Structure 1
Amino acid sequence: MADAEFDEPVPWCGVTSSEVESLRPQEKLLDHIALVVMSARFNRDLLEEVLDSSGRREKRVRRLPAHVMIRYVIAMGLFCTESHEQVMRRLVGCLRRLGSWDDDWRIPTASAITQARQRLGDEPVRMLFERACVPLGGPGAKGVWPAQHQLMAIDVTIVSVADTRANVERYGRTQARLKASAAPQLRIAALIECGSHAIVGAALGLMPHQGTDLGQGSGRAGRASMLLLAHASLYSFDLFNSLAATGADLAWRVGASVSIRHLRWLADNSDQALIFKAGVSTHSRARLVEQARTGEEISTDLARLVRVVEYTVAGRDPDGELVVDVTTILDHHEVSAMELANTFQQRWENESALDEIRTNLCGCCEVIRSKTPDLVEQQMWGMLLAHYAIRALLLEAADHTCNVPNCESSSGGLHVLRRQSTDH
């Protein structure tokens, strides 16, 4: 494999924009769109930056350089069900036709590819995700900015991984009643832009009780313009506090076990109230309520001022299901109770985005086949990067057709990218 091909400024395994321009017009879009899309999202300069930052740059010329392996890991996300050699074959197929790959270069064995993945590790791929995967939708994008907020959601899902001793020790098995899961379970907390389904923050975790801890990692992308939605199963006072500290506004569904003490009613039938840290005594809660009602400042380590919106959902039971949302948006003129209730329904977009990872990328490959935790997490970051590229492509398509981006088919976008990466 020629060394010169890796000196080009914007390559996808050596493909440059000038080479794409030299193709016949019908080939540019139909045969090589994946190369252009991936290069635009994860360009060579960014790959070199994460390799330098992570200290994973190779010390000698190798058959599988580190930046090629980052691209290979992303390709694994597009072709999860295929063998290591077949993924590599698909990756380099188009490059040979373009003349950007040495014809004498041979596909390495699965063992050689695994060794190259081990040298790379998971850190450069994680760093690439953190630097490249940012919110896609601007204020003009449909479904992305309701009520002048960039709508985000947080949730946790699980993916089965290879049943090896190392993976069991790292991730454990999910316990359901008297039975444990057949395979170890990797837990993923994701921060998702609801309008585009783009995953822009993630944390990979360990055991079931750490699900809320994972949310702290995925909330690091929070900023003042965001409205972050979350479900009752993820609620804890500490997590609520830590995410609010990022500057994002929160709208969080809570269950009956959460203690809420009323302070005052507002004109839209919502009310201001206090929520409390677990373990605060009844006497202390009463004292904190009195302080809040008289305008005294209260410690956010013990309680937090929120606005409560309650409504019922018809058809869930004879009297309708009572839903309670708490939000850090205290001014009802900024977002009314009705707007908040309607907006919270967008939270289910997060469920759709996570399902795209499980069904469209993993497909019939129900288990991530990597046998060590480092390679499991490397592969998972690659899947997240592949999913992000698909959603970015679909958002651009939606902008041209004036559609809502979360209505665009992720599986359709995946089929486009898979087709363009295939060695016909």
Structure 2
Amino acid sequence: MARTRKTLPAKVDVAHLISAGVLASVCPRALIEEVLAHTGRASQRERRLPAPAVVYYVMALALWREAPLEEVLRVVCEGLSWLGQGQGAAVQASKSAISQARTRLGADVMHQLAQRVLRPVAPPGLPGAWYRGLRVMALDGSTMDVADERANAQFFGYPAASRGSSAFPQARLLGLVECGTHVVTAAQIGPYSDSEQAMAAKLLPAKLQADMLVLADRNFYGFKLWELACASGAKLAWRVKSSLKLPVRRILADGSYLSEVFDSQDRQRRRPLTVRVIDYTLQACAIPPQDSYRLVTNILEPAQADALELAALYHERWEIEGVFDEFKTHLRANSTVLRSKTPELVRQELWGLLLAHFAIRQLMAQAAWQRGLDPDALSFVHAVREIKRKMPQAAAIPP
């Protein structure tokens, strides 16, 4: 059966222009020009697809996953032209011309933009985003299917399967998320073979701050990564495997206890790090009672964070699973894999996806705070639809 080619409206209406405005509000033209000059990717001559327009186009691919490449380009260029008080003439470009424009842009520009744009957005003390003066963050990783092309397969690799390999190569994505707003504040992208611990070791030193409380699951704990994260000044509450030996050094008033951890290479055990251990079991829930949890934290005083409170707070870590669901299900719509056919363009597309997600989530947070709501109370799917079709508020358009 022949597939019906989806098209966007022939006339770019206010709703589509609003979408361009949301993207432009996150990445202003001045910032894009600055990054293009810094990376040496600014257009050297007048082109039908100048570099700044391609930047917005890459972000827009995340909003219109279901539309052909040429349709997305037309909407973005006409929308940006309208925002800039231009004539809004249609831009005609083939898939080949679009691919060449994206290749000229490369991935580094989008990466540098993400480094400049992605950040926490919750103001101090906002309920649901802070705990005792600490911004609640979560660290986790996921994978994204990429096009089954030879170059992608060689660079990203396939995950193992019971018989042979999986259908598509996969890119690994590591994210640091602000739990109260679902905003991705920092990320790393790499091949499937990259371990999440190794990626976290590159990400955390530059991105952790002293006012953060970082939650992570048991696959992240390792002495070197723990020591590295502690050195940033951030507070940590990470789940650890039950096989980790944590001898009791001193029992504290709230039932937690102090212990010591060592580097596996420290045979003489001369350089310990003191941790506080919280053991607990969830009752009256779907998880079997015998499945106990063990957290370690560098908050050593119960007065600063009670064990029961930290045990309850740890489950905010699941907020990051919702963020990955927003990437993989709601932004990608019916698309099962990323569009790009080379590793460079895959990374470019992923950074564009992160920037578009940030734009949506920042707008949702601002809308919620104006009405005294928790951003979690708003529907991400509904927000995406509003941004794409139904939201003619002038506030979405940057001056």
Distance 1:383 1:420, change over 3 A: farther
Aligned match for 1:62, one of 47, 64, 70: 47
| Aligned match of 1:39 | 24
How far apart, CA to CA, are the structure 2 residues paired with 1:274 and 1:374? 44
How do 1:179-328 and structure 2 match up within 5 A?
179-208=164-193, 210-219=195-204, 220-281=206-267, 284-285=268-269, 288=270, 299=271, 303-314=272-283, 315=285, 319-328=289-298
Q: TM-score, normalised by structure 1?
A: 0.84
Q: In the alignment, is the contact (CA less than 8 A) between 1:151 and 1:194 conserved in 2?
A: yes
Q: In the alignment, is the contact (CA less than 8 A) between 1:147 and 1:339 conserved in 2?
A: no
Does 1:120 pair with 2:105?
yes
Distance 1:104 1:362, change over 3 A: closer
Does 1:135 pair with 2:120?
yes
Aligned match for 2:137, one of 134, 148, 152: 152
How far apart, CA to CA, are the structure 2 residues paired with 1:58 and 1:100? 22
How far apart, CA to CA, are the structure 2 residues paired with 1:264 and 1:334? 17
How do 1:105-116 and structure 2 match up within 5 A?
105-116=90-101
Q: In the alignment, is the contact (CA less than 8 A) between 2:177 and 2:185 conserved in 1?
A: yes
Q: TM-score, normalised by structure 2?
A: 0.89
Q: In the alignment, is the contact (CA less than 8 A) between 1:34 and 1:420 conserved in 2?
A: no
1:203-230 alpha-carbon deviations (Å, 9 max, x no partner)? 0011345221122233231100000000
How far apart, CA to CA, are the structure 2 residues paired with 1:38 and 1:396? 15
AA matched with 2:154: E
AA matched with 1:270: S
| Aligned match of 2:354 | 384
Distance 1:100 1:343, change over 3 A: same
How far apart, CA to CA, are the structure 1 residues paired with 2:201 and 2:325? 21
Q: In the alignment, is the contact (CA less than 8 A) between 1:94 and 1:421 conserved in 2?
A: no
Q: In the alignment, is the contact (CA less than 8 A) between 1:152 and 1:192 conserved in 2?
A: yes
1:120-179 alpha-carbon deviations (Å, 9 max, x no partner)? 000011111111111010124221012221000010000000111111111100003343
How far apart, CA to CA, are the structure 1 residues paired with 2:44 and 2:266? 56
Q: Give the secondary structure class of the aligned counterpart of 2:60.
A: helix
AA matched with 1:380: L
- Compare the two structures and name the one with the higher helix fraction: 1
Distance 1:103 1:202, change over 3 A: closer
| Aligned match of 2:373 | 403
How far apart, CA to CA, are the structure 1 residues paired with 2:384 and 2:113? 20
1:330 Cα offset (Å): 1.2
Does 1:74 pair with 2:44?
no
How far apart, CA to CA, are the structure 2 residues paired with 1:36 and 1:44? 11
1:364 Cα offset (Å): 1.4
Q: CA RMSD in A?
A: 2.2
AA matched with 2:276: R
Q: Give the secondary structure class of the aligned counterpart of 1:261.
A: coil
AA matched with 2:207: A
Q: In the alignment, is the contact (CA less than 8 A) between 1:258 and 1:275 conserved in 2?
A: no
1:34 Cα offset (Å): 2.7
Q: Give the secondary structure class of the aligned counterpart of 1:173.
A: coil
Q: In the alignment, is the contact (CA less than 8 A) between 1:202 and 1:217 conserved in 2?
A: no
1:101 Cα offset (Å): 4.0
Q: In the alignment, is the contact (CA less than 8 A) between 2:16 and 2:75 conserved in 1?
A: no
AA matched with 1:65: P
Aligned match for 1:352, one of 322, 328, 343: 322
Q: In the alignment, is the contact (CA less than 8 A) between 2:160 and 2:166 conserved in 1?
A: yes
AA matched with 1:222: L
How far apart, CA to CA, are the structure 1 residues paired with 2:144 and 2:28? 29
5+ residue gaps, structure 1: 1-26, 289-298
| Aligned match of 2:337 | 367
AA matched with 2:365: L
How far apart, CA to CA, are the structure 1 residues paired with 2:115 and 2:42? 19
Q: In the alignment, is the contact (CA less than 8 A) between 1:142 and 1:405 conserved in 2?
A: no
1:66 Cα offset (Å): 0.9
Matched residue count: 378
Q: In the alignment, is the contact (CA less than 8 A) between 1:261 and 1:275 conserved in 2?
A: no
1:166-209 alpha-carbon deviations (Å, 9 max, x no partner)? 11111100003343111000000000000000001000011345
1:420 Cα offset (Å): 5.9
How far apart, CA to CA, are the structure 2 residues paired with 1:335 and 1:327? 10
| Aligned match of 1:335 | 305
Q: Give the secondary structure class of the aligned counterpart of 2:247.
A: strand
Does 1:51 pair with 2:21?
no
1:421 Cα offset (Å): 9.7
